[in-house]
Structures are given as structure tokens and as C-alpha cells.
Amino acid sequence: MRFQIVSMIGVLLCASAVFGQADVLTVDPSLAERGVKIVAERQELQGRFPPNTGTARQTEYLADGGDGLAKTIVEEDWTVRNLETEDTVAHFDTLDGRTLVEPSNRVFLYAPRFGAVRQIEGVLNNAQITALSRTDGQCSLNIDRGKEQLGYTVQETKSGYARTRTQLSGVGGLKKSTGAGITQGLGTYSNFESAMYYSNLLRQQFIGLGELAYLTRGRVFAGAWQGTGGIKVQMNILAPMEATAEEGAESFFQIEDESKTSKLRLIKTASRQSAQSGEVIEFTLRFDNVGTQVIGNVTILDNLTTRLEFLPETALSSLKSGFVVQANDSGSFTLRFEITDPLKPGEFGVIQFQCRVR
């Protein structure tokens, strides 16, 4: 018995140690299997929210981008499944016949919206009049007038705003250019000189050290508080790698990899940190072929969250591409950009569009 108690205490202590473990940067273990050698890495924990902030903040921010709980899947006929509301992903075909999906980072926009639940209760008016009009020798009540006046109770049952939705809407299949959406004209994005806040990143392949703050600001604007929501930035690389459980844009890796890889990087930024209802936000998507091989059929999907309303005629693309707008089940829109030409290693494109905050 004593041994059992000691064992239980030991298990409890071990469990506590595991759950109380600090946040540690972990790198994809498959990198080692692929022969990737990490020669330098740096991690700074800037831009994070303090721990234990609870769920209060999550309801105040609009999150857009990334791949949600259900992993987005592209089938052989390019049918996209599990594209949830708020997801922003790109899929592309490789030279060896595979179709890969790459999510973007998530952007956070402080835009709380308050609603109200109203209940109206009436005070019940009771008035009882009992008058003795006449008594005889038997001392009995001759007339008993009872009057109960029930006060009126108004229960407001407006049927306005009865439209509701469930969280997992927008998970349905989405086929490529099936005609279900509306194909719209796409403007040409060429204003790279004013490319938002981190010009080097959008115009060129690298990011200057002096632009780190701007990148971090544009990336999150509200801080990176999701597990893998950060932009993955690589410098001085020969081939791309993937870091998981990394939140900051301040982590750098210098790696050596001789293998041929197909990799797309998708970065999403928002033009504002916060917005009131009715204000317009400009989103920018930059996609880079950071692999060593040509990729084709690059398709970028942005399933907008409910409170973002896409503004028509605002979509721009720096590369020749098709553009389809399709209403999603959550009351917003799914934007689909189909890049026409293959993307060579090192090439990139920029997409911009505007949304109004509901």
C-alpha cells in the first residue's frame, strides 16, 4: 500500500511538471529525417500577450487567416474541403504531381461588437373588490362580487435578427471554378512602392532588420496569441524549412538543405489594428515560391469571417489570375484567386482587397 501511495504521488508530480512546462520553441522533427541541418536559430518572445488572459480577448478580436481546426483538404478534382470560416489557405501543384496546401498566418483585428438581450416584465395588477351589499338574519353573504383584473403583460417577441448561424458553417466543399460563384474582374496590383508597412518584404525576398517592428505590427496588430499564428520568416536559406509552435516573426533559421523542395509561403496582413463597425480594412496577401522547384495552379482561398463584408471592385493582383467570389454559409464571402501562370522559384505575387467591418 505504501508503495502504491508513493507511486501515485510520483505520477501526480510528473503530471504537474508536464502541464506546468513553459512554452518551448519546437522545430518540426521531420527536418532531421530529411537531412536538414539547423545551424543557427534565434527566438525572442516579443509581441505576445501575457499568459492567462482568458477567453475575454478572443471574443473582442476578429481573427482572419490560417487554417482552422479542420485541416483543409484538396481532392484530385481540386474540390476543397474543410475550408472553415476565417481560413486563408493556398494550394498548388508540384512537379511530381502532388497538391499541397499552405495556410497563411492569422491577423487579428480589435473590433468588439456589443449586443443586448432585453426582457420586459409587467407588474401584475390585482384588484379585488368584495362588497357586502346586504345581510339578512342568517348573516350570509348575499352578493359576492369578485373582480380580478389581470394587468396586461407585454412580452416583446420581435422576430428581427432571428437569423443565426452555427460555428462550423463554411466547412462545405468548394470546387474550382465550378460556376457557383461570381467571377469578377480583377485589378492589377503594381503599387509596390507604397506596399504597406514592410516594403522590402513585399517588394523583395528578404526583410530588413529595420523593418522587423513593422512586420510584427502588420502581422498581428493585436499580438500573436495563437499557437502557430506567426509568420514564418527565413533568412539566408538554401531551402525552406518549417517551424512549428513558433509565434513570433523574430525567429531566424539558417539551414542547409540540398534536396529539391516545393514550398509556398503565404503572408496575410491587415491595414489597421482596430476598427469600428462600418470602417474599411485593407487586406494584403503576399505569396512566395520559397522552394527550389516550379509550382503551378497556385490558388489562394480566403473564407471571410462573418463580420467582414467584401467590397466589390476592390480586389487587385500583381499577377495574371482569375477571381471568383462565392457566398459562404456564414453570411460572408469566399474569395478565390487562381494564379494563371506557374510560379518559378523566387517569384512572388501580391493580392489586395478591402472589407467593411460589420
Q: Which residues bind another protein (CB under 8 A)?
A: 1, 53-57, 59-63, 85, 110, 112-123, 151, 153-158, 161, 163-167, 222, 273-274, 276-278, 305-307, 309, 330-332, 357-358
Report which residue type is found at 106: R
Rounded Cα distance between 179 and 187, Å, is: 20
Q: How far is the CB of 306 from another protein (least distance, A)?
A: 5
Q: How far is the CB of 110 from another protein (least distance, A)?
A: 6
Beta carbon nearer to another protein, 121 or 193: 121
149: cell is: 383584473
Beta carbon nearer to another protein, 138 or 166: 166
Rounded Cα distance between 43 and 336, Å, is: 35
Which residues, other chains included, contact 250 with Cβ-Cβ below 8 Å and sequence gap of 6+? Answer: 42, 43, 44, 46, 47, 212, 216
* Residue written as grid cell 481560413: 87
Q: How far is CA 333 from CA 33, 167, 304, 313, in A?
A: 41, 15, 6, 14
Q: Of 63, 155, 81, 80, whose CA–CA distance to 118 is shortest? A: 155
Q: Of 281, 269, 291, whose CA–CA distance to 345 is shortest? A: 291
Beta carbon nearer to another protein, 120 or 143: 120
Q: How far is the CB of 43 from another protein (least distance, A)?
A: 24
Beta carbon nearer to another protein, 277 or 340: 277
Q: How far is the CB of 98 from another protein (least distance, A)?
A: 32
Rounded Cα distance between 120 and 153, Å, is: 9
Beta carbon nearer to another protein, 165 or 344: 165
Q: How far is the CB of 358 from another protein (least distance, A)?
A: 5
Rounded Cα distance between 164 and 200, Å, is: 43
Q: How far is the CB of 355 from another protein (least distance, A)?
A: 12
Beta carbon nearer to another protein, 175 or 272: 272
Q: Which helix (H) or strand (E) holds 289?
A: strand 280-289
